[in-house]
């Protein structure tokens, strides 16, 4: 084997590893995503977030905004998270500036607002785009496949332990809504 042949082999191996790494970091590039928990994003502080850590749990995915008429729902979301987190449940907050530009802040401004105003302890992720189009987040592309996309801030998806959307609730449905609570309880009861 010549040095040139060895170099070609190493180059080919590097290309394969690069392609596999890119596919692992962007599950949507591998075709349809089967589970919400197969997706990756980043936390509000910019660190990588693998949603697979929530696999086997029920999550309430909410597109949040700091300057919206529905922003006081943070209080109920935090209460729900604290009440049910020990039972395999978590609220997941995804800031978005899609509706009325009501989330214009930086990640630090969002984090500070949430902590100081509502003492938010549930996971918050990087700002993303929920609306359909070329800039739409893969997270909301997956959630939208359920037939529902947010029409405004604080829309809610109950995601089951299997990573599939179990229920959708528009902004007006508050965290203490009996219908939302029933959907969460039903999803938690699934084995």
Q: Which of 180, 125, 129, 185 is nearest to 156 (CA)?
A: 180
Q: Which of 44, 31, 68 is nearest to 142 (CA)?
A: 31
CA distance 114 to 3: 58
- The two tokens of residue 33 are 């995503």
Buried b (16+ CB within 10 A) or exposed e, 29-52: eeeebebbbbbbbeebeeeebebe
Contact between 48 and 78 under an 8 Å Cβ cutoff? The reply is no
Q: Which member of 49, 51, 61, 68 is catalytic?
A: 68
68 part of the active site = yes
- 172-179 contacts: CB < 8 A, separation 24 or more? 174/73, 174/76, 175/73, 175/76, 175/77, 175/79, 175/80, 176/76, 176/79, 176/80
Q: Please state the length of the chain.
A: 191
CA distance 48 to 159: 21
> Looking at the annotation, which residues are catalytic?
68
């Amino acid at each position: 084997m010549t040095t040139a042949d060895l170099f070609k082999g190493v180059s080919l191996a590097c290309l394969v590893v690069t392609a596999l790494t890119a596919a692992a970091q962007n599950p949507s590039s591998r075709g349809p995503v089967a589970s919400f928990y197969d997706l990756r994003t980043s936390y509000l502080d910019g660190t990588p977030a693998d949603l697979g850590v929530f696999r086997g749990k029920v999550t309430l995915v909410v597109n949040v905004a700091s300057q919206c008429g529905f922003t006081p729902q943070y209080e109920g979301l935090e209460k729900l998270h604290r009440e049910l987190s020990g039972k395999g449940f978590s609220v997941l907050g995804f800031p978005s500036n899609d509706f009325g530009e009501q989330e214009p802040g930086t990640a630090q401004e969002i984090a500070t607002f949430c902590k100081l105003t509502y003492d938010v302890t549930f996971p918050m992720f990087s700002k993303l785009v929920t609306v359909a189009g070329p800039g739409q987040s893969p997270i909301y592309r997956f959630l939208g496949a359920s037939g529902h996309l947010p029409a405004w801030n604080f829309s809610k998806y109950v995601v089951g332990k299997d990573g599939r959307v179990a229920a959708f609730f528009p902004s007006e449905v508050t965290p203490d809504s009996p219908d939302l609570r029933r959907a969460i309880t039903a999803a938690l009861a699934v084995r």
